[in-house]
Amino acid sequence: MTEIWSGFVRAIELIISLDPEVMEIAGKSLMISVTSTLLASLICLPLASLIHFNRFVGKRLLINFIQTLYSLPTVVVGLFVFVFFSRAGPLGGLDIMFTPTLMVIGQVFLILPILLGLIISALGGVDRPLIDTAFSLGASSFQAAVIILREARYAVVAAIIMGFSRAISEVGLAIMVGGNIKGFTRVLTTAISLETSKGELELSIALGIILLAIALIVNLALNRLQQR
Amino acid sequence: MARAATVRHLLKEVPFFVTKEMKKILLTFLAVTMLLTLAVGIVGCSPQPRLRVATTTSLYDTGLWSYLEPMFEEQYGVELDIICAGTGIALEYGRRGDVDVITIHSRSREEQFVAEGYGVERVPFAYNYFLIVGPADDPAGIQGMTPEDAFQTLMETQSGKLVSRGDDSGTHGKERAIWAAAGYDYETVTASGNWYIEAGRGMGPTLLMANEEQAYTLTDMGTFLSYTGKLELVPIVEEGDILLNVYSVIATNPQMHTEANFEMASNLINFLTSEEIQKIIGAYGVEQYGMQLFTPGAGVEPTG
C-alpha cells in the first residue's frame, strides 16, 4: 500500500523537476492521442451526419455493427495494423512499422467506431422541429449542419472525450505497432507496462498519475469548447 | 396505407441532406484528413538513419542494451531502435523483415532461422547460465540436485509450485529441453496439475510472480541478479551442463532490406563482438551486483 503514496509523491517530484525523459514520454503520449482523436473526429463528423441524415436499407444493422466494434480489443486492432503495415504485408512498402505515425493510424482505427457511434447518437438527440425551422428560414444544408452540430455539441464533445480517453489509455496497440522504443515510440502506457514488468511499482504509479493529469487538462480544454 | 403515406411524406422532407453541398463538405473533410495524415507521416519520419533491433527480454531487462545503445549510436551516427520482445515474436519480426537485427538465446531455433534463409549468420557474443530459483526453505528439497533430477522430483512429488514462462521464449525453450532430458513429455507436465503455472509473460514478471506464489522458476542469471532486492527467491539449482545460455546476434533477411540497413546491421554485429565491447559486456553490472551478468563469448561457443 505504501507504493501508492510514494508513487503519488514521486509523480509530483517528476512533474515539478520536469524530468526530461518523463516529459518526453508524456509529450509523445499527448501528441499521438490528440492527433489521432483529431483525425478520427474529422472523419467521423461528416460520416456520422451522412449516416444519420440518410435513410437506407440496413441502417439499423450498420449502427449495430458500429456499436459492436466498441468492444474491439486494442491488441486485435494492433494485430490487424501490424499485419497490414509489416514489411511483409500489403502496405509494408511505406516502411512505417514501429513509428509514431503508425501508432496514430492504429489509434484512429481503434477509436473510429466509438466516435462514429456516439456522434450518430448525438445527432439523434437534436430536435426535429429545429432542423425544420432552419430550413424553412432558408438555411443551406451547410448552415443547417452547423446549426445541428451547435445544438448537439454537448454530446459530440462527450464523444470526442471518450475517443481521446480510449486513445491515451490503450497499451496493446501501442506496444504491438510502436514497439515501445525508448525515445521514439515509448508512451506513458507502454512505459508503465515496462516499469511494472521491471518491478518498479512506484515509478509505474507515478506515470499513471501523470497520465491522469494530462487527461484532466485535455478534458478541461474540451469542456470549455462545450460551454461556448 | 397511413403508414406508407407517412414514409412518403418523410422521404420528401428528408433528402435535404443528400445534396451536392453535403458531398462537397464530406470530400473537403476527407481531403483535410488525408493531408493531415501525410503531414504527420512526414513529421514522424526523421531523416536520421535508423536500425531496428528486436531483442530477447533478458538482454533488455538487465539494462545491458540501454547501456550499449548510446555507445553504438555515437560511434556510427545511427538511431538504434530497440524492441524488447520474447524470442518467439523477435524471430517473427525478423522473418517479416520488420527488424534488421535480432539478439536472442535459443540455439536450435536460431539455426533453423538461418537455415530457412531468414537470417544471415548466427553470431554468439555472450553467455551466462540459467538457474532454478525458489523459496529459501526449498519445500521440495531439490537443492544441489541436477536440473533434470530437480524437475523430476517436482513432477513426481508436486511438493512445490513451478512458474513457467509459457511464452515460447528462449527460456521457455530451455525449460522444455530440461523436461525432455528428464524423460518427460512436455504435454504431460503442463496437464499434471495446479502446481505447474504458465505465466505467459517476460522473465521479470515471471520472477515477480514466482516470488508472490513462493514458487520455483527457471531464470537466466542476468535477469535474476538485476532483480536483486525485489525478490525473496534464492538460487536452488545452479549446476548442470544443460543450464548454459548463449546469446547470439543475427542480421535478418538481407533481401528485404536496403543495402544501408544491412551494412549497419553488420556494423552492429562487429560492434558487439569487438574486443572493446566484449570487455564492457563482461564488466557490466559487476560493480552493482558483485558478480558477472554476462560472460563475453564472441568467437568461442562454450559447450557446457
The mean of the pLDDT values for chain B is 86
Poorest-confidence range of A2-6, B15-19, B151-155, B169-173? B15-19
Residues B50, B51, B52, B53, Cα dihedral to 10°: -150
Chain A residues with CB inside 8 Å of B29's CB?
Answer: 42-43, 45-46
pLDDT tens digits in sequence order for chain A, 228 residues long: 788 888 889 888 988 898 999 999 999 999 999 999 999 999 999 899 889 888 899 999 999 999 999 999 999 999 999 999 998 889 888 888 999 999 999 999 999 999 999 999 999 888 778 888 888 888 887 788 778 888 898 999 999 999 999 999 999 999 999 999 999 999 999 999 998 888 888 899 999 999 999 999 999 988 887 776
Residue in this structure with the C-alpha cell 525453450, named with its chain if needed: B173
Distance from CA of A64 to the nearest CA of B (A): 22
CATH number at residue A58: 1.10.3720.10
Chain A: which residues have CB within 8 Å of chain B?
35, 38-39, 42-43, 45-47, 49-50, 53-55, 86-89, 92, 96-101, 104-105, 132, 135, 140-142, 144-145, 179-182, 184-185, 194, 196-199
- What is the reported pLDDT for B103? 95
Measured between CB atoms, which of A46, A55, A184 is closest to B26?
A: A46
- What is the reported pLDDT for B201? 86
Contact B75, B69 (CB under 8 A): no
Measured between CB atoms, which of A87, A96, A99 is closest to B256?
A: A87
Measured between CB atoms, which of B61, B96, B202 is closest to A87?
A: B96
Chain A residues with CB inside 8 Å of B84's CB?
Answer: 180, 194
Chain A residues with CB inside 8 Å of B96's CB?
Answer: 86-89
For A225, phi then psi, to 5°, come to -60, -40
Measured between CB atoms, which of B29, B36, B205 is closest to A197?
A: B205
Domains in chain B with CATH codes: 50-127+245-296 (3.40.190.10), 129-243 (3.40.190.10)
CA dist B82 and B57 (Å) reads: 11
In the predicted model, is pLDDT for residue B10 greater than 70? Answer: no
Q: How many domains does chain A have?
A: 1
- CA nearest to A185 within chain B: B81
Q: Do A42 and B82 touch (CB under 8 A)?
A: no
- CA nearest to A34 within chain B: B40
In the predicted model, is pLDDT for residue B204 greater than 60? Answer: yes
Residue in this structure with the C-alpha cell 454537448, named with its chain if needed: A154
Contact B56, B105 (CB under 8 A): yes
Residues B245, B76, B92, B223, Cα dihedral to 10°: 30
Sequence-distant (6+) residues with CB within 8 A of B27 are none
CA dist A61 and A63 (Å) reads: 5
Chain B residues with CB inside 8 Å of A199's CB?
Answer: 204, 208, 227, 230
Chain B residues with CB inside 8 Å of A180's CB?
Answer: 83-84
Supply the DSSP symbol for A91.
T
Q: Residues B56-107: pLDDT tens digits?
A: 988 998 899 999 999 999 999 999 999 998 888 899 999 988 999 999 999 9
Chains A–B, number of C-beta pairs less than 8 Å apart: 112
Type and span of the H or E element at B34: helix B20-44
Q: Do B84 and A47 touch (CB under 8 A)?
A: no
Chain A residues with CB inside 8 Å of B41's CB?
Answer: 96, 101
Residue in this structure with the C-alpha cell 509450485, named with its chain if needed: B161
Distance from CA of B143 to the nearest CA of A (A): 27
- What is the reported pLDDT for A226? 76
Q: Do A55 and B33 touch (CB under 8 A)?
A: no
**Mutant choice from A83, A192, A198 vs B, greatest count of B C-beta within 10 A:** A198
Range of the domain at A132: 2-227
Beta bridge partners of B50: B79
Total Cβ atoms within 10 A of residue B99:
30
Closest by Cα among B159, B155, B153 to B135:
B159
Residues A217, A223, A227, A228, Cα dihedral to 10°: 70
Q: Do A55 and B37 touch (CB under 8 A)?
A: no
Q: Do A104 and B96 touch (CB under 8 A)?
A: no
Characterize the bridge pairing of strands B162-164 and B216-220.
parallel
B245, amino acid identity: N
